[in-house]
A and B are shown apart, each in its own frame.
Chain A
Amino acid sequence: MKKTHNYTCINCPLSCALELTEENGEVLEVKGADCKVGQKYAREEFENPRRVVSTTVRVEGGALPLLPVVSAAPIPKALVRDAVRMLSKLTVNAPVADGQVIYPDILGTGVDIIASRPLP
């Protein structure tokens, strides 16, 4: 069965409204893109949308109560909320070095969660 999905291209201020048509997961057509970048973006958003996750985790004994953390690479979009929820249970001990791995291989994605600043 054919299905359409709508996306807004984020690659330039034109913000093209993209319409992707697929059948059983196979992309048939992308309409509305002003350029090839938009075509590619719609496919990625349909086939494997990924996002960088950033949040905070609690710190014991630090100069601040929270440590900002970020995924070292984008992870599947569908896992973002679960990743943040998982990290919300975590408490790390100060001091923390910039880039220190805080949670390796989050949700089996192969992507590490790292400290996004040093915290003495």
Chain B
Amino acid sequence: MAYVNGQRPLPSRAGLVVVGGGVIGCSIAREATRFISDVVVIEKESDVACGTSKANNAEVHSGIGEDAGTLKQKLNVRGNQLYDEFVRGLGVELKRQGLLIVITQRTIPRDGGMPEEERMELLTRKIPEGIVAYGENAGIKGLRILTRDEVFRMEPNVTREAVAGVFDPTYGLISPYKLTIALAEHAVINGAKVFLNTEVTGFRVEGGAVRAVITDRGEIETPMVVNAAGVFADEVADMAGAGGFVIHPRKGATLLFDRQVTAEYVRSSVAEFRLPGQRTTQSKGGGAMPTAEGNLQLGPTAIETDDKYDTSISAEEIEEIFERFHYLLPDFPRDALISAFSGVRAPTLEEDFVIGASEAVRGFVNVAGIQSPGLASAPAIAEMVLGILHELGLSREPRPDFDPVRPAPPKFSELSNVERNRLIREDPRWGNVICRCETVTEMEVVNAVHSIIPATNMDAVKRRTRTGMGRCQGGFCHNRVAAILARELGIPVTEVTKDGEGSPVFLGVAKEFLGGAAR
């Protein structure tokens, strides 16, 4: 297998080292393998996509929510346009189901003293036209103004307070962790090596140029480093003397609902239009949207935090989300809540992306401050970074042996019965349903453990197969998944973790606490 985990030694040299196995790092690594094969990705967690990439809202924005003239907007618009080509061959689905921006009565409150006729003219004509003009100016295509009736025809559950809407058909959704895993595997198929559980501790810089990356597992000589370390990008840049920016973490919480209850509740993503002065936080306001897998999600919030590991959710945030969306979707079935998650974003003080070759350290490229719309911008960020790397000397010659396809493992729940039976005849483990809420079979779990970027813990299996993601949240399947992990990894089940070191699922075997011998 091309993949090399922490058990194997690091290579002594590489053409490019990418620090950070999030969606940005893996996008850049995959794009780099189109030109060179000796690419190394260093990730300190037990899996790729463990930071911001696993806990965001899966949105491929069009760029309409970004400020004109920013790098963010430019890369977002470009990224959205590149997306279909970017994911081709990866086996990860991009759903362009569109974004409905709803203009409501509270966009301009009635009691603002404005004559009613003028107010309605603004709400139903001038504001929608303004949104469309703004988007078109940024290069976004296909924007369409909707009347109130058209809004309800498209989304019957939206508040009766809606007065008009703008539909943005280029907006889409993609599973951010599935995309990241697929990109990492595709990079590995084309020669890259991904090292998990490996932490960068410093850099060797000589004569103003980067010479090597130093990690807790050894050193790799390299002429080029991409710093895609997410919330830690400032610290990593400072290690090389290539810093000068500060990441101030901001967390965003999202509520996730049972897809059987909410699958039909909204079809596109729905966001409420707020005039610039009405935003209370740095969040673009979030929305109600299906996930890439059909669960409805509400969020996110945007809360400044001091702790880059703060993925907690407060009671206030949960209430805030419900209150906010109660207006937009009044009859929303809040009882169908099955999960909530929070991710830490990595904004800089300037709130824009920081992408560029370091002037202080030659060969060192910072890709920092990548917050929303980072997922949408990923293809364009990778394109831009490759341009920089070419300038720094990375080969411009496309490899003739680049394999354009990353085979995706079959998913039982998505197959026809004929295909299912063909697989079960090959291996009966395809017929053993492990997770009943999401209909995941034993073979899918086994495949995840032995995939190119192997799943070595419960959360990693969950990201690849959806085990434990349903309405029972792993109540029925956690012990079965743990047993398969233990068997396939050849470890005692008490060593199985939720998400890497320090997170054991079980703390002992029966009788052990009574002094009885361990099994």
Contact = CB atoms under 8 A, between A and B. Distances in A.
| Chain A directly contacts chain B within the complex, with at least one CB pair under 8 Å | yes
A120 to B, nearest CB: 19
A25 to B, nearest CB: 33
B515 interface: yes
Interface in A37-58: 56, 58
Contacts, number: 17
A56 B510 contact: yes
Q: Name, among B511, B514, B515, B516, the residue most crowded by chain A CB atoms within 10 Å (CB to CB).
A: B511
A76 B516 CA distance: 24
A85 B510 contact: no
Interface of B: 510-511, 514-516, 519
17 contacts: A56-B510, A58-B510, A58-B511, A58-B516, A58-B519, A65-B510, A65-B519, A66-B510, A84-B514, A85-B514, A85-B515, A88-B511, A88-B514, A88-B515, A88-B516, A89-B511, A89-B516
A66 B519 CA distance: 11
Interface string A85-108: 100110000000000000000000
A89 B519 CA distance: 12
A79 B515 CA distance: 18
Contacts of B519: 58, 65
A37 B15 CA distance: 84
Contacts of A65: 510, 519
Nearest to A84: B514
A66 B509 CA distance: 11
Contacts of B515: 85, 88
A56 B515 CA distance: 15
Nearest to B514: A88
B486 to A, nearest CB: 13
Nearest to A65: B519
Nearest to A89: B516
A93 to B, nearest CB: 15
Contacts of B511: 58, 88-89
A31 B472 CA distance: 47
A104 to B, nearest CB: 20
Nearest to B519: A65
A106 to B, nearest CB: 16
Nearest to A56: B510
Contacts of B514: 84-85, 88
A50 to B, nearest CB: 22
Contacts of A88: 511, 514-516
Interface in A50-77: 56, 58, 65-66
A63 to B, nearest CB: 14
Contacts of A66: 510
A66 B510 CA distance: 9
Given A56-B510, A85-B514, A89-B516, 14 more contacts: A58-B510, A58-B511, A58-B516, A58-B519, A65-B510, A65-B519, A66-B510, A84-B514, A85-B515, A88-B511, A88-B514, A88-B515, A88-B516, A89-B511
B478 to A, nearest CB: 17
